[in-house]
A and B are shown apart, each in its own frame.
With several copies, the nearest count.
Chain A
Amino acid sequence: MTTTAVGREVTYLEAISEALDEEMSRDERVFLMGEDIGPYGGAFRITEGFQKKYGEWRVLDTPLAESGFVGAAIGAAMMGMRPVVEMQFADFISCAFDQITEVAAKNHYRWGAAVPMVIRAPFGGGVHGGPFHSECPEGWFFHSPGLKLVAPSTPYDAKGLLKAAIRDPNPVIYFEHKFLYRRIKAVLPTEDYIVPIGKAEVKRGGTDISVITYGAMVHLALEAAEALMKEGISLEVVDLRTLMPLDKETVFESVRKTSKAIMLHEDNKTGGIGAEIAAQLAEECFDSLDGPILRIAAPDTPVPFSTPLEEYFLPKVSDIVNAARKLAAY
């Protein structure tokens, strides 16, 4: 576990670890379940040292059975606990799909039972993981009423959103991007804080084009914005942070201002979250639009393994730059 002195920089990964540690200290209802999270500290070492501190029941190594332990988390949550389960990789969440969509998502609507639980899902590519260790599964769950989805892009949000997720009375899937784990750092406040679920953030103000994005792609958008500034194109970058419920207000406000929009995500293009936001804009902000709504996303294939294939597959800064130029010229 990472303890941070005032002002010490922490990585995105350490921010997640800190949030878990602080919430477990603060609230004894919070406990962790997953594969290899105990003595081993998890595949990514997020819970390193936790079992020593909290014991083998609050940091509980499960059998290899995602449906079983997600189901168990639902049961414990309904009894008043606050379970946080770890998918070893987000990809394996497909094994627990039925429990998440049919049980966790619907219990409250059907019969009023709150299911306050969090599923941590290390997702995303750029790590040579291939088709089964790189997936972005958020699109599936976005289409299941009753779930909340968050996807932080910075250490600050990673910590604050995880705390908010743990304190939320609903099932929340927390998408943590593996590529960011050790690649970005930030100095975090020493006092307790949360980042509220349902609030997007304008990461960079701009006037010409809004880029609506989340997760690792936020950093690409910021890079592109920097590059485009030199060409006199001003990008506004909106980091959704919460994918469900969407912060329509912030998105709409941005697009009403710039009148042009690019959806950017690493998930497959067809049926991705960018499609929904584009549809909302086309329905509710049509009169403000001065050009087509462009989408930049991964193509509709599994995530390929080999380096040139994966590089081709993932959205790039140049894709954003090209799209912005096209739109600016519109």
Chain B
Amino acid sequence: MDAPVVAKDIKRTDLLQMYYYLRLTRTLEDRITALYRQGKIVGGVYTSNGMEAISVGYASALERDDIIAPFHRDMGAFLIRGITPGEVIAQYLGKRTGPTKGKDGNVHIGDLKRGVIGFVSHLADNLPVATGAALAFKLRGESRVVITNTGDGGTSRGDFHEAMNFAAVRKLPVVFFCNNNQYAYSTPLQLQMAIRDVADRAKAYGMPSEIVDGNDVAAVYLSAQRAIRKARAGDGPTFIECKTMRMHGHSEHDSAKYVPRELLEEWKKKDPIVKAELTLTQLGYANEATFREIEERAKKEVEAGVEFAEQSPLPEGPEALEGVFADEHEVKP
């Protein structure tokens, strides 16, 4: 299907909003990369460059009460859940105003009030956790859903298997996204699995799956919507493979020489922002002026975020000792 044909099922305002978040994500991550090059960032930088449509698409399809358990290339989802660019940068700078108050860094952002389960470096660890959140909703008869995401690499871990299987057996309201960007760090797909479509993994669990163009935000959104509806109706989980490509190195210190240049060239043409602009233009929803205006807005927000973050205080040493154990009042009621 042509992108616009699919996209016409989406409201103009929704599609424009997604475009805005694509822009905001790109602008924010580019800015963080720039800060990294200036030596201002503490620790590593992982971006979703070229893959922004996935987390923007799925997070746009969720309701306020739903929950996400993202992985390390889901910046768009954070922003849509209400984590501000300032908070994200503060997190990268180790500031007290970051969502983890300096305890953890970069994309390890968690905040239950905004429905975000904090990422754990150990890939796939949060997939069983996501099934458990979905189980809680099912146990309480709530119609909430959980979306979680993994890379192609993460699907090789045992926790992926145990989570997928459990979700399928108990028909839990959880949607598994897989960001198949064809590499796990430097390892190409064919050294990770003997299948071409990660979606085939779902067959082991009797779980329905879809394959979508991960660079087309409209396609991702609609696919998420279908799966969410099904989950909310009690019809169980779905696995959605998003075909995409990692356009930066694994992290900012990786020049990704192991990726053939032609592959990158080819995918460059499928850039999700360009694609979204094309869709919006073809549908007559927006024009170049709108795009520039949104781009400017994104830039301003990110600059304000940089300012906020840079002016934010660092935590004080002894705060390192706080928070190992929770108090009763912190438990979700």
Q: Can you name 30 A-B pairs with beta carbons within 8 Å?
A: A31-B139, A35-B184, A38-B187, A63-B191, A65-B162, A68-B159, A68-B163, A75-B132, A76-B136, A76-B139, A80-B331, A80-B332, A103-B120, A106-B120, A110-B108, A111-B104, A115-B326, A130-B43, A131-B108, A169-B325, A169-B328, A169-B331, A170-B325, A302-B103, A304-B104, A305-B43, A305-B104, A305-B105, A308-B94, A313-B320
**Contact, CB under 8 Å: B128 / A131:** no
In the complex, what distance in Å separates the CA atom of A103 from the CA atom of B133? 14
Indicate the member of B106, B162, B315 with the most A CB atoms within 10 Å.
Answer: B162
- B285 interfacial by beta-carbon distance below 8 Å: no
- A145 interfacial by beta-carbon distance below 8 Å: yes
- A74 interfacial by beta-carbon distance below 8 Å: yes
Our pick among A43, A64, A114, A130 for the contact of B123 (Cβ within 8 Å) is A64
**Contact, CB under 8 Å: B324 / A109:** yes
- Which A residues touch B103, using CB under 8 A? 109-111, 131, 302, 304-306, 309
Which of A88-96, A151-159, A186-194 touches B?
Answer: A88-96
Q: Of all chain B residues, which has the CB nearest A114?
A: B326
**Contact, CB under 8 Å: B318 / A103:** no
Q: How many residues of A contact B (CB 8 A)?
A: 77
Known contacts A39-B258, A75-B134, A110-B104; 5 further A-B pairs (Cβ under 8 A): A67-B128, A72-B129, A92-B122, A98-B159, A305-B105
State the Cβ distance, B193 to closest chain A Cβ, in Å.
7
- B70 interfacial by beta-carbon distance below 8 Å: no
Q: Of all chain B residues, which has the CB nearest A131?
A: B104
Taking CB atoms and an 8 Å cut-off, the chain A residues in 78-131 that contact chain B are 78-81, 83, 89, 91-92, 94-95, 98-99, 102-103, 106-116, 128-131
State the Cβ distance, A315 to closest chain B Cβ, in Å.
13
In the complex, what distance in Å separates the CA atom of A69 from the CA atom of B99? 28
Q: Of all chain B residues, which has the CB nearest A127?
A: B43
Our pick among A89, A95, A116, A299 for the contact of B320 (Cβ within 8 Å) is A299
State the Cβ distance, A143 to closest chain B Cβ, in Å.
13
**Contact, CB under 8 Å: B326 / A36:** no
- Which A residues touch B112, using CB under 8 A? 78, 112-113
- Which A residues touch B186, using CB under 8 A? 36, 38-40, 61
In the complex, what distance in Å separates the CA atom of A132 from the CA atom of B192? 23
- B270 interfacial by beta-carbon distance below 8 Å: no
Q: Of all chain B residues, which has the CB nearest A110?
A: B104
**Contact, CB under 8 Å: B138 / A57:** yes
In the complex, what distance in Å separates the CA atom of A83 from the CA atom of B321? 27
**Contact, CB under 8 Å: B326 / A169:** yes
- B333 interfacial by beta-carbon distance below 8 Å: yes
> What string of 1s and 0s marks CB contacts (under 8 Å) between B176-206 and chain A?
0000000011110001110000000000000
Taking CB atoms and an 8 Å cut-off, the chain A residues in 249-296 that contact chain B are none
- Which A residues touch B153, using CB under 8 A? 63-64
Our pick among B43, B110, B132 for the contact of A111 (Cβ within 8 Å) is B110
- A307 interfacial by beta-carbon distance below 8 Å: yes
In the complex, what distance in Å separates the CA atom of A103 from the CA atom of B186? 26
Instruction: Give chain B's interface residues, CB within 8 Å of chain A.
Output: 42-43, 67, 69, 94-95, 99-100, 102-106, 108-112, 117-118, 120-123, 125-140, 146, 153-154, 156-159, 161-163, 165-166, 169-170, 184-187, 191-193, 258, 314-321, 323-328, 330-333
Our pick among A43, A146, A169, A307 for the contact of B324 (Cβ within 8 Å) is A146
- A300 interfacial by beta-carbon distance below 8 Å: yes
- Which B residues touch A300, using CB under 8 A? 324
In the complex, what distance in Å separates the CA atom of A128 from the CA atom of B86? 21
Given contacts A112-B323, A169-B330, A309-B315, contact A95 B110 (CB under 8 A): no
- Which B residues touch A110, using CB under 8 A? 100, 103-104, 108, 110, 118
Q: Of all chain A residues, which has the CB nearest B168?
A: A63
**Contact, CB under 8 Å: B120 / A132:** yes
Our pick among A109, A170, A304, A306 for the contact of B95 (Cβ within 8 Å) is A306
Our pick among B118, B314, B318 for the contact of A306 (Cβ within 8 Å) is B314
Given contacts A61-B191, A63-B192, A307-B42, contact A76 B132 (CB under 8 A): yes
